[in-house]
Structure 1
């Protein structure tokens, strides 16, 4: 019974790793090629290959070491590459407001 619970927890972890890798792959595919160059990161094709391999490994290769390598690549994309791409392409302010806009609207200086 304990082994069944451990296997179900591992299944959830592996599913989470697959979802993270798939989301990172989609985000990498949607970003513009020139944003990677402007952010001084590896090419878009590099990240698509690395994250694509991470997705495939999580789907079909039950080797934990390789899956963990894919998880590291996914985390690097989310922590380092994606924020740099957003900063270069201006994705941090989607609504088109000014730079003084907060989460609840523009800051008016206490007026």
Structure 2
């Protein structure tokens, strides 16, 4: 019974790792090539290959060592590369204060 619960947990963990890798792959594909160069990161093709191999390993070859290596690559992309790409592309956070509405500040410009 304990083994069954552990196998169920591992199954959910593998699905979560696959979903995380797919999301990272889609985000890497949507970013512009010149943003990778401007952020001084590896080129777009490098990340597409690494994340694509990670997705394939998670789908076709469920070996824990390879899946953990892919998870590390996915985490590096999401924590290091993606924020740098967002900053270079101009999507780096909110502009203005919390009292800004769609047409300017709601507090009379204070």
RMSD of aligned residue pairs (Cα, Å): 1.9
Cα distance in 2 for partners of 1:21, 1:85 equals 17
Aligned to 1:11: 11
- Which stretches in structure 1 are left out of the alignment for 5+ residues? none
Structure 1: 4+ residue segments shifted above 2 A: 99-102, 104-111
Query: Secondary structure at the residue paired with 1:62?
Result: coil
Task: Sort the Cα spacing of 1:6 and 1:101 in 2 relative to 1 into closer, same or farther, 3 A.
Answer: same
Task: Sort the Cα spacing of 1:109 and 1:65 in 2 relative to 1 into closer, same or farther, 3 A.
Answer: farther
Task: Sort the Cα spacing of 1:2 and 1:109 in 2 relative to 1 into closer, same or farther, 3 A.
Answer: farther
TM-score of the aligned structures, taking structure 2 as reference length: 0.88
Aligned to 1:105: 100
Aligned to 2:48: 48
Cα distance in 2 for partners of 1:101, 1:28 equals 30
How many residue pairs are counted as aligned between the two chains?
A: 106
TM-score of the aligned structures, taking structure 1 as reference length: 0.87
Aligned to 1:87: 87
Task: Sort the Cα spacing of 1:109 and 1:6 in 2 relative to 1 into closer, same or farther, 3 A.
Answer: farther
- Which stretches in structure 2 are left out of the alignment for 5+ residues? none
